[in-house]
Amino acid sequence: MSHAVLLNADALTLEDGMLFHTKKGKAREFPMPLAPLADTHGHLTVLKSHDPALALARAALAGVRLLVVPLDPFDDCGCIEDDPAPRRSPEDLLSFLDEAYGLAMPLMAEFADAGLVPPAFPGYEPLPLAAPELPLDLRFVAGSHPYNAPYFDDAVEARMRELLAGERCVGVGEIGLDFGPYNEVDVETQLVAFRRQLAIAHELDLPVELHLRSASDDPDASAHALAAQVLREMGVPAAGCDIHCFTSGPEVANLFIGLGCSIAFGGAVTFGKSDDIRAAAAKVPLDQLLSETDCPYMAPVPLRGEECEPAMVAYQAACVADVRAESGVSSREETYRALWNNACALFRLS
């Protein structure tokens, strides 16, 4: 039996030709993209319901041509106490990405035999590390999440720098500040790790992906405001800055728009009660828009409750394109094109 039919979701795809299904097996239509798709932040290392190689193949079938995976030199290396994940060196993590990509390539032939092939995008050139068999360029950023700030010592920094030297590396991240309900790290400890990693991005001339979460009952959006202050003090890296998984309104977006940062919208932009996020998506200048999944978290409508995967960025991109077209700020075609071009520019893949 082939690898592609070992997981139920992919067995259904091979049977009915539909990429997405609910937990009950009901097929869901997905919007055909008008340009190549970029998932600028997807955690390939922590998928549970999706095999990483299958996730890459499915992403390519959905039109994803760029996936950027965040790698954490602390928890992705298995350094969390009582975490069942195996300890992995930076070299192990780099090999994990290479192996997943290598396993995904022959899966494309299986899908093709079932009549499933990636969409074509005339006029768009393939990215440098995309293979003919798998037209998706797999890249990564490396950095320590704010939850891991207490452990960001010289050893963790050394692992981070080893990752940053990898061929597939395109930036630093995710780093930042988290004052949300699950955080247990004090502000000063987070700030030290944030500043230290931001300095590395400046030193190596790399873009950064920022994780910023303010408390839900904080009208001042303190984590965002403090991060913007740090960026003003230390400077936004010349290579660029991405506010990943943006879940606030236009006022918070303005803190970063004026600094020249990119704003990435994930699954939350599709949620029914996310009018403020959609308002921000309409407000962000066209050349500062990005799309992402933050998989395996926050699967978009109409797949709420599923484990998110990179292929689902098709829904996020469609939602942002629709919102901006309805607001009259850019056509759907312009938005799709910008989401792709902006990602390629940020990660210097143009």
Residue 5 has pLDDT above 90, yes or no: no
pLDDT band, very low/low/confident/very high, at 151 (cuts 50, 70, 90): very high
Q: How far apart are CA 74 and CA 145, in angstroms?
A: 9
Which residue stretches of 220-331 are H helix?
Answer: 222-234, 250-257, 275-283, 313-327
Q: Can you read off the two tokens belonging to residue 77?
A: 């290396």
Q: Can you read off the two tokens belonging to residue 21?
A: 């299904």
Q: Write down the pLDDT at residue 78.
A: 74
Distance from chain centroid for Cα 224 = 19
Mean pLDDT of 274-278: 98
Residue 341's SS3 state is: helix
Q: pLDDT tens digits, residue range 15-52?
A: 888 999 888 889 999 999 999 999 999 999 999 989 99
121 compared with 3, residue with greater pLDDT:
121
pLDDT band, very low/low/confident/very high, at 91 (cuts 50, 70, 90): very high
pLDDT band, very low/low/confident/very high, at 79 (cuts 50, 70, 90): confident
Residue 6 has pLDDT above 50, yes or no: no
Q: Write down the pLDDT at residue 3.
A: 55
Q: Write down the pLDDT at residue 4.
A: 44
Q: How far apart are CA 78 and CA 73, in angstroms?
A: 9
Write the DSSP string, 119-135: PP-TT-PPPTT--SSS-
pLDDT band, very low/low/confident/very high, at 279 (cuts 50, 70, 90): very high
Helix or strand run (H / E) with residue 69: strand 64-71
Q: Are 4 and 111 in contact (CB under 8 A)?
A: yes
Q: What are the C-alpha distances in Å from 307 to residues 102, 118, 136, 290?
A: 23, 22, 21, 21
Q: Are 303 and 28 in contact (CB under 8 A)?
A: yes
Name residue 69's beta-bridge partners.
Answer: 140
Helix or strand run (H / E) with residue 112: helix 90-113
Instruction: Tell me what the pLDDT averaged over the chain comes to.
Output: 94
Residue 276 has pLDDT above 80, yes or no: yes
Residue 288 has pLDDT above 70, yes or no: yes
- Looking at residue 50, what DSSP letter applies? S
Residue 147 has pLDDT above 80, yes or no: yes
Indicate the length of the chain as a whole number: 350
Q: Write down the pLDDT at residue 83.
A: 65
Q: Are 307 and 297 in contact (CB under 8 A)?
A: no
Q: Write down the pLDDT at residue 170.
A: 98
Q: Name residue, tokens 């965040």.
A: 70
pTM of the predicted model as reported, rounded to 2 decimal places: 0.96
196 compared with 216, residue with greater pLDDT:
196
Q: Are 118 and 135 in contact (CB under 8 A)?
A: yes
Q: Write down the pLDDT at residue 14.
A: 84
Q: Write down the pLDDT at residue 150.
A: 97
pLDDT band, very low/low/confident/very high, at 213 (cuts 50, 70, 90): very high
87 compared with 63, residue with greater pLDDT:
63
- Beta strand pairing call for 20-21 and 27-28: antiparallel
